[in-house]
Amino acid sequence: MIKILFVCHGNICRSPMAEFVMKDMVQAAGLQDEIYVESAATSTEEIGNPVYPPARRKLAEHGIGCAGKTARQLRRQDYETFDLLIGMDSANLRNMRRMCGGDEENKIHAMMDYTDRPGEVADPWYTGNFEDTWRDVNAGCRGLLEQLKREAL
C-alpha cells in the first residue's frame, strides 16, 4: 500500500482539499486498497479545527465530502509512516524537511511538480479564490495518481 500525506500551513484549506480530492479519485479508480491518504499542517494554529467552510463548500460543489476532518500537525514519525509527503508551497516544503529531520529517502515533494505547471498551489487563505486552489489541487492529484499508476501500482 502506498501512503500519501498532503501538507500545508494550517491543514484547513489546501491539504484537506488535496486529501479528499485524492481519496475521491482513488475510489473512482478502484484503488482504495492500494493507496491511503491523509493530510496535516506544519503549524499549530488550527489544530483540532474543521476544514475551512469555503474549502468545504468548494469540495461539496464537486460532490466531495470532508466530514469529520480536523486539522493535525505533521509529526516526525509521519516521515517513517508515509511513502510520499506532498507540500503545497516552498514554505511548507522547507518546514516539512525541518520537522522530519531532513529528507534522506526523497519522500518530500511539491504538489505542483505532478502537473505541467510547476510552482505553488494557490493559497485561498490569502487570495479568497478557492476556484484557483481547486484547479491546482485537482491537477496535482490527477498527475500524482497517474504517476503512481505508471510507476508503483
Residue 14 bears catalytic tag: yes
Count of beta carbons in the 10 Å neighbourhood of residue 50: 16
Of 8, 66, 100, 141, which residue is the catalytic one? 8
> What are the distances in angstroms from CA 132 to CA 71, 83, 121, 122, 127?
22, 27, 8, 6, 9
Sheet (strand 84-87) strand order: 35-41, 2-8, 84-87, 108-110
Cell of 86: 506532498
- Which candidate in 24, 78, 89, 123 is catalytic? 123
User: Catalytic: which of 14, 24, 89, 141?
Assistant: 14
Asked whether the CA dihedral 81, 82, 87, 90 is positive or negative, the reply is positive
- The residues annotated with a catalytic role in the active site are 8, 14, 123
